């Protein structure tokens, strides 16, 4: 199993999408890229810790690849908006990809170059080496699955999951 850590707005959205993808063993919501140890949700939301809301994907390289995961990433969020996804605004919602080794870094840079052709505005996604990943509080894990009728889930998350399922029919868990 391999790991890939992504930030693209609210971690609930990305977690919900990637939880439906074949080859993905688990998706954990958390925080990365900040300047304090063991951040809390409230601290991260203050915008003062430097952390991004991220997901850490554990995936089977024999079933899916970094490139395929990133194809989904580029499709389900807007990598051209700085520190924002929809109404979620702040550095904690930045578009970011954290790599764990040089081979993964090269795959990410290749995917980024390919993605630039998909957007009319410049991509602002940061690509950084993963230092530390902190798992978010338990109530953030599987948020969409556990709260499907909640307003944010219906208005923001469900359309992203539906978009993924439509665009990547061959990658959706049955």
Query: Could you tell me the residue ranges of all domains in the chain?
Result: 2-171
Residue 172, pLDDT above cutoff 90: yes
- Reference 55, options 89, 30, 84; nearest CA is 30
pTM of the model: 0.94
In the residue annotation, 153 being an active-site residue is answered as no
Name the active-site residue from 10, 13, 45, 153.
Answer: 10
CA separation for the pair 143, 160 (Å, rounded): 14
Residue 174, pLDDT above cutoff 90: no
Radius of gyration in angstroms for the set of CA atoms belonging to the chain, rounded to a whole number: 15
**Helix ranges (DSSP H) in 81-172:** 102-115, 143-146, 151-152, 158-167
Residue 6, pLDDT above cutoff 90: yes
Token digits for 81? 């908006």
Residue 28, pLDDT above cutoff 90: yes
CA separation for the pair 66, 77 (Å, rounded): 17
If one looks up domain 2-171 in CATH, what number appears? 3.30.1060.10
- Reference 113, options 84, 79, 160; nearest CA is 79
Q: What is the pLDDT of residues 134-155, one digit of tens each?
A: 999 999 999 999 999 999 999 9
Residue 86, pLDDT above cutoff 90: no
Interstrand relation of 52-59 and 133-135 (parallel, antiparallel or unpaired):
unpaired
């Amino acid at each position: 199993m391999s790991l890939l850590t992504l930030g693209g707005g609210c971690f609930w959205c990305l977690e919900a999408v990637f939880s439906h993808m074949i080859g993905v063993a688990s998706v954990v919501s958390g925080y990365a890229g900040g300047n304090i140890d063991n951040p809390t949700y409230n601290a991260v939301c203050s915008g003062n810790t430097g952390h991004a809301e991220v997901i850490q994907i554990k995936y089977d390289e024999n079933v899916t690849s970094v490139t395929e995961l990133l194809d989904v990433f580029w499709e389900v969020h807007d990598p051209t908006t700085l520190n924002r996804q929809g109404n979620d605004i702040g550095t904690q919602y930045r578009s970011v990809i954290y790599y764990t080794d040089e081979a993964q870094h090269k795959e990410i840079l290749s995917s980024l170059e390919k993605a630039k052709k998909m957007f009319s505005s410049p991509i602002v996604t940061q690509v950084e080496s993963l230092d530390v990943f902190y798992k978010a509080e338990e109530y953030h894990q599987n948020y969409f699955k556990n709260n499907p009728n909640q307003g944010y889930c219906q208005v923001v998350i469900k359309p992203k999951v539906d978009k993924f399922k439509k665009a990547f029919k061959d990658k959706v868990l049955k």
